[in-house]
Structure 1
Amino acid sequence: MRNVITAAEMRETFMQTTAELMDADSRLSLVLAAIGAGGDQLGPLLRKHPERAFDVGIREQLMVGMAAGTALEGYRPILHSYAPFLVERAFEQIKLDFVHQGLSGILVSTGASYDWSQGGYTHYSPSDVALLGSIPGFTVHVPGHAAEVDAVLREAAGSEERVYVRLSTRSNAEPFPEGIGGFAPFSQGRQGVVVAVGPMLDPVLEAVRDLDITVVYTATPSNLAKFPVDAFGREAVVLVEPYLEGTSASRISEAMGRKMHRLLSIGVKNRDLHRYGTPEDHDRWNGIDPQSMRARIVDFLY
């Protein structure tokens, strides 16, 4: 059964871990755009570390440019906002100020594809992972549990990579840290393999219950080009992603190489429904609830 935890749990873990990392490592900087600067755990960091923690107001493009400036000064910046504001609104600045200048940092979003559905289309961002995949050098993590958020952030803080961490209110019941940067196998079957990304694992396991199917979990879809074909390879692959459908298909195809295969992508449809509703409503409308996925998987594999 899908476990929808309290809306803040992944983000609360992000804030707590960021506070600990900022206190322990003077090389880290933090740049916010009018999010987390009030009563939560990020607000005190602005007062505690005023020389390297900043709130620029509702100016996400400036947030990215300023963070890149701290990187030029030798800091490792952490940037945080809602996914559509961090990635879509400030995409040009990410492309030019970070990628073109050869800089790195840690981008952390919240809201995922439509977690805050009552906010409407301005707060939906199913295309964020696809956008960052169009420019070079980003490691993309889509944690499936709050405990994975902590592990991802600590690893990212100690690296020099460009990292994007996509927080969500949706969660698997348990963490599987072996899926961070890698692939964790679950059920073993003969009819095909289903690759579940981040918080899609529990819905996938529910969808394929009693089916003769292999399920593999990853929290790092940017590494799907390294999918271990020899270990899990089947000629039929289903990729279930909590963002724009088809975003990671090319990476799976790259991993399969010249091996004959069929691929079905299941994710958020590329359309504007002009609806509010709940996140669960949007799952149904996009066909990524367990019942809809089961029908598509059975039709594809059987």
Structure 2
Amino acid sequence: MSAVTTPVLDMRARFYADLGPLLDAHPDVDVVLAVIGSGQMAPVTARHPGRVIDVGIREQAMIGVAGGLALAGRRPIVHTYAPFLVERPYEQLKLDLGHQDVGAVLVSIGSSFDASAEGRTHQAPADVALVSALPGWTVHVPGHADEVTALLQAEAATDRRVYLRLSRQRNAQPQPTDGRVHLVRDVASGLDGAGHAPLVLAVGPMLDTVLAASADLPVRVAYTATPHPLDAETLRALAGPQPVLTVVEPYLEGTSAAAVAAALADRPARVQHVGVPRDVELRRYGTPRDHAAAHGLDAAGVRRRIAALLDPP
């Protein structure tokens, strides 16, 4: 008899597939929507009447409802596109969840440019920076559908404020989801006097791009699916006493800069952050691949940045 395996789906499809079993296992979990996802969740809604709440196109109210559910002892999972989940109801995140000190799991789709064909309204490269600016939040940026399942199951059993950022871009293989930084690829050449080669930290779905970009470069590659709060202890251990570090993140460039600087504050470090540039506003639709290339987040662009840090002028 063959073993039962979980189908390999994209992150969004896996999230919808996970919700039914999740609600079965956790009687205190409710799902709050603002239209997006209601069609995909129809079987879950039928199986769990009253526990999937669609407030209509009212994203501020969606967060307010989640806050009320949390105050009543429920565990809300809130879902829509990133700009409608973070940017539009940002005041409600601050007040209805944060100021009341209650938890929820916010699950976004769209990432930075997944919905590029929908225009700027559906793009949110600043979402992680915004959530990270609020106290008491944990941010997960998975790179594979299996990581989505693991993170969702773990966070459903907590009462924390969590932002889970899903993306169409994904890595070929899942990585650990324990909140730590993990070394994925080591090198034997390019070591400094203390035995530390330059390090590239890939966040979430950027890992395969980083691996391709640095395949023939003398750098080590590490990974995290939880950029906030950052695992400073492991980063310090991997970076060494004189760090040469590149952080590659699939959202606003420098989002992790303050956390990285704090982790390495006592060390003479050369650090660069590669992400969506802060001073670029693309006004053409294009595909997600077009946007990645335009922002230097494809393998060629990431390679240029890593190589420039290794061989400064």
Tell me the TM-score normalized by structure 2. Answer: 0.90
Kindly indicate whether the alpha-carbon contact (under 8 Å) linking 1:127 and 1:243 is maintained by their aligned counterparts in 2. Answer: yes
Pick from 181, 184, 191: which aligns with 1:183? 181
Kindly indicate whether the alpha-carbon contact (under 8 Å) linking 1:225 and 1:253 is maintained by their aligned counterparts in 2. Answer: no
Distance in 2 (alpha carbons) for counterparts of 1:76 and 1:243 = 28
Q: Which moved more, 1:198-207 or 1:18-27?
A: 18-27
Pick from 241, 245, 248: which aligns with 2:249? 241
Match of 1:123 in 2: 122
Are 2:269 and 1:265 equivalent residues in the alignment? no
Show the 5 A alignment for 1:48-127: 48-127=47-126
Kindly indicate whether the alpha-carbon contact (under 8 Å) linking 1:193 and 1:238 is maintained by their aligned counterparts in 2. Answer: yes
- Root mean square deviation, CA, Å: 1.3
Distance in 2 (alpha carbons) for counterparts of 1:147 and 1:225 = 21
Q: Is the partner of 1:272 in helix, strand or coil?
A: coil
List gaps (5 residues or longer) in structure 2.
Answer: 1-8, 192-196
Match of 2:215 in 1: 209
Distance in 1 (alpha carbons) for counterparts of 2:74 and 2:47 = 17
The structure 1 segments of at least 4 consecutive aligned residues displaced by more than 6 Å after TM superposition are: none
Structure 1 residues 166-186: Cα deviation after superposition (integer angstroms, max 9, x where no partner): 00000001101x254112212
Match of 2:11 in 1: 10
Q: Which amino acid aligns with 1:207?
A: A
Kindly indicate whether the alpha-carbon contact (under 8 Å) linking 1:227 and 1:252 is maintained by their aligned counterparts in 2. Answer: no
The number of residue pairs the alignment matches comes to 292
Q: Which amino acid aligns with 2:225?
A: A
Q: Which moved more, 1:84-93 or 1:257-266?
A: 257-266
Q: 1:225 Cα deviation (Å)?
A: 4.8
Match of 1:141 in 2: 140
Distance in 1 (alpha carbons) for counterparts of 2:150 and 2:212 = 26
Q: Which amino acid aligns with 1:135?
A: L
% identity of equivalent residues: 47
Q: Name which one, 1 or 2, has greater alpha-carbon Rg.
A: 2
Kindly indicate whether the alpha-carbon contact (under 8 Å) linking 1:194 and 1:215 is maintained by their aligned counterparts in 2. Answer: yes
Structure 1 residues 147-204: Cα deviation after superposition (integer angstroms, max 9, x where no partner): 000000000011121111000000001101x254112212224341000000000000
Show the 5 A alignment for 1:194-233: 194-228=200-234, 229-233=236-240
Q: Which amino acid aligns with 1:61?
A: Q
Distance in 2 (alpha carbons) for counterparts of 1:118 and 1:217 = 29
Match of 1:5 in 2: none
Kindly indicate whether the alpha-carbon contact (under 8 Å) linking 1:46 and 1:55 is maintained by their aligned counterparts in 2. Answer: no
Q: Is the partner of 2:185 in helix, strand or coil?
A: coil
Q: 1:232 Cα deviation (Å)?
A: 3.8
Are 2:309 and 1:300 equivalent residues in the alignment? yes
Match of 2:30 in 1: 29
Q: 1:25 Cα deviation (Å)?
A: 1.3
Are 2:171 and 1:164 equivalent residues in the alignment? no
Q: Which moved more, 1:207-216 or 1:182-191?
A: 182-191
Kindly indicate whether the alpha-carbon contact (under 8 Å) linking 2:253 and 2:276 is maintained by their aligned counterparts in 1. Answer: yes
Distance in 1 (alpha carbons) for counterparts of 2:29 and 2:245 = 40
Match of 1:4 in 2: none
Q: Is the partner of 1:170 in helix, strand or coil?
A: coil
Q: Is the partner of 1:221 in helix, strand or coil?
A: coil
Q: 1:262 Cα deviation (Å)?
A: 1.4
Q: 1:47 Cα deviation (Å)?
A: 3.2
Kindly indicate whether the alpha-carbon contact (under 8 Å) linking 2:198 and 2:239 is maintained by their aligned counterparts in 1. Answer: no
Match of 1:3 in 2: none
Kindly indicate whether the alpha-carbon contact (under 8 Å) linking 2:28 and 2:73 is maintained by their aligned counterparts in 1. Answer: yes
Q: 1:223 Cα deviation (Å)?
A: 3.1
Tell me the TM-score normalized by structure 1. Answer: 0.93
Distance in 1 (alpha carbons) for counterparts of 2:261 and 2:310 = 17
Q: Which amino acid aligns with 1:90?
A: P
Are 2:250 and 1:255 equivalent residues in the alignment? no
Kindly indicate whether the alpha-carbon contact (under 8 Å) linking 2:139 and 2:162 is maintained by their aligned counterparts in 1. Answer: yes
Q: 1:36 Cα deviation (Å)?
A: 1.4
Distance in 1 (alpha carbons) for counterparts of 2:117 and 2:233 = 36
Distance in 2 (alpha carbons) for counterparts of 1:21 and 1:52 = 12
Distance in 2 (alpha carbons) for counterparts of 1:143 and 1:124 = 18
Q: Is the partner of 2:245 in helix, strand or coil?
A: strand
List gaps (5 residues or longer) in structure 1.
Answer: 1-7
Kindly indicate whether the alpha-carbon contact (under 8 Å) linking 1:225 and 1:254 is maintained by their aligned counterparts in 2. Answer: no
